[in-house]
Amino acid sequence: MSTIFPATYSTLCPVALAKYITDKYGFANTDCRLLVRGVGDTYLVNTLSDKYILRVYRSSHRNLPQIQAEVDLLLTLNKAGVPVSHPLTDKSGDAIQAVEAIEGIRHAVLFTYAHGTVVRQMSTTQLQVLGREMARMHQVSAGVNPAGTRCGFDFDTTLYQPLEMVKPNFADLAEDYQWLQETAGRAVNVLTNLSAGGFTSGYCHFDFLPKNFHFDSDAITFFDFDFMGYGWLVNDIATFHQHLCLDIYTGRATQEAASEAYDIFLEGYQQVRPLSEQEKAAVPYLGLGFWLFYMGFHTTHDQFFAFTQASHLKGIINYLRSFVATTWNIS
């Protein structure tokens, strides 16, 4: 009697998935191919009428209640007219599929396709559109009650916990780790004072880099809400701010051009919803939590091994030291 050797992470066959999608959704002439293999596998699905994105989740990264919270938020955003890649329901009305893989049940969701392309250097109009549509998203997400199944973004999850998670990887970078600890403490002090009057909270995307939205001319579509969680909405502004700061650091943009782009983006955002001066002042200090959160996440799956090595971490620290020195207003 033959047995199948156990697996912790298999790759589902695109041909079999194409047939599965055809049966479940009633599409004709379905083609499926793997785009990205990771903590969630991403497939491109082509049919006679359109193309879609199939995301197959790993249970080590997202459980069913967490996936359901993502689906619920995206359906709410889509219903409100926010331009997002949103889940589709099958012929039975289900948005989440359960597939029996070698390692056990894996869940999958079929999303509408975000037409267009990634635009790193955005025009004035595109920056205004990004700001307005992010603000419209926040208007909706601020009214969605947190399900309690997704990560919340606070000092524990973005600073303290990640610092503990990455500590073993800094064994040969003790001075840099001490700097991270001290800088995190400075961020907490500043943010505690700034937020004393209250920051608006709601569901955040928490990864608003250009790789996660497409422009089709000047029309935008947001996608990849895999790290959505509840916290200060200004976190999303801080993640886009990091894109501009990285462009300055790498020489892809001048300080003047990046500052102008940020001002245009903020102008678009504030055409839809206001930002307090305290929230705007918090943006640079939230940037550290953005980096630490993902540095901590990279310790949770072996596919990110290269991102946990000293040479890679040193590059991040060099950037963060420069970022803090040029954007923070404390000694």
Read off the CATH number of the domain in which 185 is found. Answer: 3.90.1200.10
- Same domain? For 157 and 183 the reply is yes
- Same domain? For 21 and 72 the reply is yes
- Amino acid in the structure at residue 118: V
- Same domain? For 179 and 129 the reply is yes
DSSP line for 192-210: HHHGGG---EEEE-S--SG
Residue 45 lies in a domain: yes
- Same domain? For 174 and 318 the reply is yes
- Same domain? For 76 and 150 the reply is no
First to last CA, the chain: 70
Domain boundary among 56, 79, 112: 112
Sequence-ordered list of residues with C-beta below 8 angstroms from that of 54, at least 6 positions apart, any chain? 17, 21, 32, 42, 43, 44, 45, 108, 109, 110, 111
Given a contact cutoff of 8 angstroms between Cβ atoms, the answer to whether 191 and 285 are in contact is yes
Determine the pLDDT at residue 331.
55
Residue 62 lies in a domain: yes
Residue 235 lies in a domain: yes
Determine the pLDDT at residue 197.
83
Residues in the chain: 331
Domain boundary among 88, 112, 136: 112
The pLDDT profile of the chain, 331 residues, written as one tens digit per residue, is 568 899 999 999 999 999 999 999 999 899 999 999 989 999 999 999 899 999 999 999 999 999 999 999 999 999 999 999 999 999 999 999 999 999 999 999 999 999 999 999 999 999 999 999 999 999 999 999 887 889 899 999 999 999 999 999 999 999 999 999 999 999 999 999 999 889 999 999 999 999 999 999 999 999 999 999 999 999 999 999 999 999 999 999 999 999 999 999 999 999 999 999 999 999 999 999 999 999 999 999 988 999 999 999 999 999 999 999 999 986 5
For residue 107, give the nearest of 97, 115, 116 by alpha carbon. Answer: 97
- Same domain? For 94 and 142 the reply is no
Structural domain boundaries, residue 133:
124-327
Determine the pLDDT at residue 78.
98
Domain boundary among 112, 139, 172: 112
Domain count, the chain: 2
- Same domain? For 247 and 157 the reply is yes
For residue 295, give the nearest of 175, 118, 177 by alpha carbon. Answer: 177
CATH number for the domain including 79? Answer: 3.30.200.20
Sequence-ordered list of residues with C-beta below 8 angstroms from that of 146, at least 6 positions apart, any chain? 152, 203, 230
Determine the pLDDT at residue 147.
76
Residue 117 lies in a domain: no
- B/e letters for 95-118, b = 16+ CB within 10 Å, e = fewer, are bbbeeebeeeebbbbbbbbbeeee
For residue 72, give the nearest of 43, 64, 39 by alpha carbon. Answer: 64
Longest dimension (CA), the chain: 70
- Same domain? For 210 and 97 the reply is no
Q: Please state whether the predicted TM-score (pTM) of the whole model is above 0.85.
A: yes
- Same domain? For 92 and 138 the reply is no
- Same domain? For 50 and 140 the reply is no
- Same domain? For 157 and 207 the reply is yes
